[in-house]
């Protein structure tokens, strides 16, 4: 036991904070990254009570922790808490990665670049494509700037509450060709890439979508993942999508970007995604 304790003291400590966090795959992902790169990293999951976030971050910092991932429901609170933010975190209004640098809490958001990198690794082009983003909550907001950086021909946000989609589009309109609407405005329009950023999959639901929404050769991407295809992925397959992807790759890619921010070392994500996929079905 004391050997283990000594060993851990020589490692740099990182954690994910959230609620609930017990089922988080982040500790597994980062331990695979550490193993692969030989970096001296110890990573754990810390469940934080509502109202206890700032205190928990302060305690982790005081104990010599080097960095944190932040997940639901604390990403917006983390954005408020940090002293400095990357441009992409500033835009996202949410922080999923904190790096402790001397007296400074530096906040980044790696979710959007995680999505973009997963799409590009799967040879899905975004540039000059018609992209539909379903949902206008925190998950959608977090990926908008990196998506627009890729210069799609157009980016349409569709949301059950149309006004939220319009507001979000307005907030990002300086970054590219973007509009926000309700789902009814999708009639007779086609898209090359459709990304589901709604929480509907969690409830096994799906917004009502026109049957001819997919352009020839379209890709559908659900930011959720599970051992079975989500409701949206099933809809995509039934409606002729050529490529249908879930969010497991995005999860690993956003983790890799955090690891890079903390360690200046970029892990190879492909074997880690494959390993997690094997573990999910077994």
The correct pick among 59, 161, 212, 237 for binding ligand ATR (CB under 6 A) is 161
Least distance to ligand ATR from the beta carbon of 157, Å? Answer: 9
Task: Choose the catalytic residue: 25, 66, 75, 129.
Answer: 75
Query: What residues pair up with 13 in beta bridges, in sequence order?
Result: 42
CA distance 154 to 148: 9
Name which of 134 and 252 has its Cβ closer to ligand ATR: 134
Interaction of residue 230 with ligand ATR, rule CB under 6 A: no
Q: Which residues inside 189-228 make contact with ligand ATR, applying CB under 6 A?
A: 198-200, 203, 205, 207
Angle between helices 111-121 and 248-263 (to 10 degrees): 120
Residue 234's nearest CA partner among 270, 209, 254 is: 209
Strands (DSSP E) along the chain, which ranges? 12-18, 41-47, 67-70, 84-85, 97-101, 104-108, 130-134, 154-158, 178-181, 191-196, 214-222, 243-245
The correct pick among 164, 193, 233, 253 for binding ligand ATR (CB under 6 A) is 164
Whether 66 sits among the annotated catalytic residues: the reply is no
The correct pick among 65, 107, 135, 152 for binding ligand ATR (CB under 6 A) is 135
CA distance 264 to 109: 16
Interface mask toward ligand ATR for 80-119; x: CB under 6 A: ----------------------------------------
Which residues form the catalytic set?
Answer: 75
């Amino acid at each position: 036991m004391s050997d283990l304790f000594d060993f851990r003291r020589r490692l740099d400590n990182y954690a994910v904070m959230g609620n609930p966090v017990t089922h988080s795959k982040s500790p597994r992902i980062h331990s695979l990254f550490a193993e692969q790169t030989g970096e001296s990293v110890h990573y754990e999951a810390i469940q934080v009570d509502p109202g206890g976030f700032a205190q928990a971050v302060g305690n982790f910092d005081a104990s010599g922790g080097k960095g944190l991932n932040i997940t639901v429901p604390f990403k917006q609170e983390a954005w408020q808490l940090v002293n400095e933010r990357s441009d992409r975190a500033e835009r996202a209004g949410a922080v999923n990665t904190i790096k402790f640098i001397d007296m400074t809490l530096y906040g980044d958001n790696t979710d959007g670049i995680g999505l973009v990198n997963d799409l590009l690794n799967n040879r899905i082009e975004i540039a000059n494509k018609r992209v539909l983003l379903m949902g206008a909550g925190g998950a959608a907001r977090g990926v908008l700037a990196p998506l627009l950086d890729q210069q799609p021909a157009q980016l349409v946000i569709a949301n059950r509450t149309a006004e939220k989609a319009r507001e979000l589009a307005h907030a990002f309109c300086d970054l590219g060709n973007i509009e926000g609407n309700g789902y009814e405005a999708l009639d007779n329009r086609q898209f090359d890439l459709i990304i589901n950023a709604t929480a509907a999959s969690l409830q096994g639901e799906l917004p009502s979508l026109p049957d001819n929404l997919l352009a020839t050769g379209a890709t559908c991407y659900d930011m959720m993942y599970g051992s079975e295809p989500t409701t949206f992925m099933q809809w995509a397959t039934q409606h002729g999508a050529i490529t249908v992807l879930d969010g497991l790759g995005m999860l690993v890619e956003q983790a890799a970007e955090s690891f890079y921010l903390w360690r200046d070392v970029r892990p190879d994500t492909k074997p880690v995604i494959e390993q997690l996929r094997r573990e999910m079905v077994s």
